[in-house]
Amino acid sequence: MKSIPAPERSGSGAPTPPELGGIRFDRPRLTDGDPMWRLARSSPHIDANTPYFYLLWCRDFAASSAVARDGADLCAYTAGFVRPARPDTLFVWQTAVASAWQSVGLARRMLDLLVADRYRYVECSITADNPASDRYVRAFARSRGAPVRCEPFLGPEHFGGAAHAPEILYRIGPLGPSGSPGSPGPLGP
Ligand SMILES: CC(C)(COP(=O)(O)OP(=O)(O)OC[C@H]1O[C@@H](n2cnc3c(N)ncnc32)[C@H](O)[C@@H]1OP(=O)(O)O)[C@@H](O)C(=O)NCCC(=O)NCCS
């Protein structure tokens, strides 16, 4: 397992620029689509989508998504979108961290950088057999002093009868201040 130092904070409490121990946090680019797809394909709990899907995501949803790079290699991504009917809400669609980089804080750091003070709520859906995701989302909520509301979201009936664990909708918020003044956030607009 790799290790990175804890996020440093400046005297004002703001996070330092998005680079930690050689890991660089960034918006996805079109060239990230293929490595994102490969990481998704090798990750448990993530539905397989087509490479084309991730390429479109990188083109059209980069502003609400983040990646972590180890040099030229993609080691993690968070793909999110702003709900059209709720512009104050970031829906985190997928987060995947390469196994060698798990549990060192990459998922948390991507979400912190992505959300900053731009959104009042974060939503995602998690299956009951995924405690790591539950922990990661609850840790984020705690850091922002925000309640977490969970409710049934999508059941097997929504997946056309395909075997799919029920998705529970997590709604986190309202979010307290991130401690990083200067919206639109450290990842830029
Ligand atoms: C879930 C996942 C994204 C977490 O990423 P990560 O970078 O390892 O998580 P972090 O290191 O930022 O940890 C965030 C919190 O989750 C906890 N956590 C991380 N992995 C965990 C695990 N396997 N079991 C229990 N808790 C775990 C951490 O302890 C931390 O909580 P804390 O702050 O209370 O200590 C990663 O395990 C993953 O890619 N899983 C496979 C794909 C997936 O399930 N994606 C989510 C559904 S789309």
pLDDT digits over 73-114, tens only? 999 999 999 999 999 999 999 999 999 999 889 999 999 999
Distance 107 CA to ligand 1 centre (A): 7
Strand-pair partners of 178: none
Stated pTM of the model: 0.88
**Is domain 19-172 annotated with CATH 3.40.630.30?**
yes
In angstroms, what is the span from residue 83 Cα to ligand 1's centroid?
A: 24
CB-based pocket (< 6 A), ligand 1: 43-46, 94-97, 102-108, 130-133, 135-136, 139
Q: Where are the alpha helices (DSSP H) in 21-94?
A: 33-41, 51-60
pLDDT higher for 70 or 17?
Answer: 70
Q: Which of left, alpha, beta for 90 (phi over 0: left; psi -120 to 50: alpha)? A: beta
Predicted confidence at residue 13, as pLDDT, reads 42
Question: Could you read off the pLDDT of 85-96 as tens digits, one per residue?
Answer: 999 999 999 999
Pick the residue whose CA is nearest to atom 44 on ligand 1.
Answer: 45
Residue 10 has pLDDT above 60, yes or no: no
Q: Tell me, what's the pLDDT at 180?
A: 56
Q: How confident is the model at residue 179, as a pLDDT?
A: 75
| Ligand 1 center–CA 133 separation, angstroms | 5
Distances (CA, A) of 150 to 108, 125, 130: 19, 9, 14
Question: Taking the domains of the chain in order of start, what are their residue ranges?
Answer: 19-172
